[in-house]
Amino acid sequence: MIKRPVLNNAQGRGASVVDNGNLIMVTSSLPGEGKSFTTINLAISMAMELDYTVLLVDADVSKPSVLEILGLPPSKGLMDVLVGREPELSNVLMRTSIEKLSVLPAGMPHQNATELLASDSMNQLLEEMASRYPDRVIIFDSPPLLVTTEARTLATHMGQIIIVVEANRTAQSAVNQALTMIESCPVKMMLLNKSTDTNSASYGYGYGYGYGYGHEKGESVEGSERAQAA
Ligand SMILES: Nc1ncnc2c1ncn2[C@@H]1O[C@H](COP(=O)(O)OP(=O)(O)OP(=O)(O)O)[C@@H](O)[C@H]1O
Ligand SMILES: [Mg+2]
């Protein structure tokens, strides 16, 4: 459900054409809401599609986690390209066991990470990424919006942003504050994560939708309730 609208926007098949729609950032208000979990799962799921090649960028440069979660060894990456230690982007891209998924690691931590992400070199790099491979979806794992300025800087380049919200923990005021920081992005989507509420309306809807009211193998939740009431 999350992947489809994102891919449609990335390929210009959404309701309107989105500039740089193939640059997608996953962020959140606060730490630990599930950004990396969401980014990695989305990237893998997109790479399984027939028509898409995916580049997963670990842009959480002060607290990178993508390589470790994927079981890949530490490696040079984004920061090394931005400071000129590594002249070629293609030298630091890593392949994964999924054919159409490659990873750009965060690289060496740098004290001027925010400035580097806001630099002309970063602009050029993003421009190169977005235009050189228009059929490629580039998905960025990023830091939380309310804790550092890096995510805000990165957000200005993105065509689409997914804001992960941890259910029953993150306050509405924090989410609203985070939203004001990414106003310029044309497409913003919210993802409620870690919800344990199995009685929510969406669960009932999903179940009922999947099996249908009065399906031959049994009725939906709503169906049986109605039958009992009758
Ligand atoms: N939907 C989920 N179901 C189960 N576990 C989850 C889910 N989303 C996140 N987690 C777990 O929650 C923890 C935090 O997730 P994750 O590292 O993705 O958050 P993050 O927002 O990237 O954190 P940080 O701000 O530190 O980078 C991890 O242990 C992760 O496995
Ligand atoms: Mg993370």
Separation of CA 119 and ligand 2 centre (Å): 23
Find the mean pLDDT for residues 30-56.
95
Find the mean pLDDT for residues 43-62.
93
Residue linked to tokens 């030298």: 91
193 CA: nearest ligand 1 atom:
1
Q: Is 150 in the pocket of ligand 1 (CB under 6 A)?
A: no
* Reported pTM: 0.86
Separation of CA 125 and ligand 1 centre (Å): 28
Find the mean pLDDT for residues 186-215.
66
pLDDT-based confidence at residue 212 (cuts at 50, 70, 90): very low
Which residues 6+ apart lie within 8 Å of 134 measured at CB? 22
Q: Is 35 in the pocket of ligand 1 (CB under 6 A)?
A: yes
Q: Is 63 in the pocket of ligand 1 (CB under 6 A)?
A: yes
Closest residue by Cα to residue 82 from 51, 45, 111: 111
CA atoms of 88 and 57, how far apart (whole Å) = 15
Separation of CA 36 and ligand 2 centre (Å): 4
Which numbered ligand comes closest to the C-alpha of 166? Answer: 1
Question: Is domain 3-196 in CATH 3.40.50.300, yes or no?
Answer: yes
In this predicted structure, the answer to whether residue 33 has a pLDDT above a threshold of 60 is: yes
In this predicted structure, the answer to whether residue 225 has a pLDDT above a threshold of 70 is: no
pLDDT of amino acid 85: 92
* Minimum CA distance residue for ligand 1 atom 3: 194
Contact, 160 vs 28, CB < 8 A?
no
pLDDT in tens, 73-116: 999 999 999 999 998 898 999 999 999 999 999 999 888 988 99
Which numbered ligand comes closest to the C-alpha of 66? Answer: 2
> What percent of the chain clears pLDDT 90, i.e. is strictly above it?
63
Dihedral angle sign, alpha carbons of residues 222, 224, 229, 230? positive
Find the mean pLDDT for residues 134-139.
87
Would you list the domain boundaries of the chain?
Answer: 3-196, 199-230
pLDDT of amino acid 202: 53
pLDDT of amino acid 228: 35
In this predicted structure, the answer to whether residue 5 has a pLDDT above a threshold of 50 is: yes
Residue 221: strand, helix, or coil: helix
Q: Is 60 in the pocket of ligand 1 (CB under 6 A)?
A: yes
